[in-house]
Structure 1
């Protein structure tokens, strides 16, 4: 019964940021399209470095046309904070996170206000997605869904396995077959895949919320205590207006 309850909670958490966003770009533009004159799409942009912030601002604002103006109401370097989320809620803005993540307080505001929060790691993908939405194009959108987060508590060195992170799964489920990112202070420092996932010295396919495990990250030996390992999957979502 406990496992069933955990699975249900995990599914609810996984769907909140993607499926339950009531202020999605598509929906906002559909509502605005009922009015007259140039419409405005508000964005909040946060990225890992200033160069990415500036590149995104310049490229996205340049997508403005006679019908739609792209307006960046706030931007900055670092993880997405409570203040960022409040700004987005007040202006019905979409939040763009480029190689950064929202902290716990920001995620609560995102969920309670139905804010459209989107994570990216390739600048072209941000531009392409906003361009297609602004142009009113429909089709299949590839989105990333975070399915689990592991908190690194300690790191052990092994001549056989290299760096092994002693972790506690704090959200969802981490799966051996899915891609991962290593986060440090809400900023992505590595993206790749798992070398190993172990429970009590046994190799396992997945580890769920509230469980300790050992994680080896393939081709990356700089994992530190305090880091988070984010497990995600890519899904296809039909665009609707």
Structure 2
């Protein structure tokens, strides 16, 4: 659902723990998987981030789920990310249950929500449709039992199943690097069983499982189908959404992983060789493109991917600035990140990560900028500002002021000076000027000499008096009206789609 519609608070109420207060800005930033027991049945919840930048992570949440609960606030109604979430659920071909939250709030109107959802072909049962919609209040813990019962009912109708005797397959929900334990992956077991000691393969990551933790962080020997588990013992951090399987031995796992890594490198090289329109225009000299090189570091891969996707969207919105993601990785910003930034003239963006002391010292001596953030839209807003700051200035001829001639002075060796008063704006040396007499133009040229009292001046503002002269025109008369024009820099304004 949409940001701030109460997804995490609802899940919180269901499992009676509290993680909202620990999230920066009250926005859930990582996918978390948890279990809830209802009698002899268990439901696994995958809490997907609600923020716009995490569309990718939410899309993966849709792929690993059997049922999607769409949370819509009864006071806010259908919002942009609500529509986005409906799209993801449809793409994953997953049944949707609508939880109409915050029904206890002033201005709550569940009926308005149901009517708004008709547009997206989600028709409530009381409107003659088949979409289950449950009014709830996460804050007051109202309607939660109804919601859980409806989830189990839909599961029963869908005849959801997994094969406990099949070979193990799991989907990576989230992955990151832990300083003491190394690469960690949260995996949702889809079929079979995973055990400590199994050799697993996931993308280009592989390894023998050293430890398994359940969703509460307690160590377990094995985990069966339908449950989330934390896997420790991989060679590197896998990407969210990748499938994990078991293989016979370490040799086979390493060989497959290395072959996949080679294929990935080849694809990257082919991708970088493709010319974009922006590159083409640059070669033709029709577009001056400035490069903004960035190195991304985050605590988990999901955040790296979400940040990169958002940056690429920004990149598409502005032709004159090219965002290049030079490198990306998980874990704290270290010396090698700074060395790479020096070599590629890049800024390091850290999200939810610290900076090692050595990297901090090196960045100061090498003059590399490291910017760290806790909330993704703050990073995006800063990048937007940097992009606008890199744009070439635009100059436009504007009227900068007017003057009226009061007296004429004829001085030998200098010529004719028009003693004038600036009536509005200002006059500046080398400005273009038009002299009008009784409505007709008598001279157009450049203001060559500007005096304030006896001194040469670069600029004189209203309502001061000044002396104006030019070699090209000496036929001044009292009462002449002068208009001054100059090239003025126009602030560049770029309308980005909001990062928030």
Q: Same fold (TM over 0.5)?
A: no
Indicate the TM-score class for this superposition, using the shorter chain for normalisation: 0.3 to 0.5
Higher relative contact order (CA 8 A, sep 6+): 1
Q: Of the two, which has the highest radius of gyration?
A: 2
Structure with the higher fraction of residues in strand conformation: 1
Task: Give the TM-score taking structure 1 as reference length.
Answer: 0.41
Task: Give the TM-score taking structure 2 as reference length.
Answer: 0.20
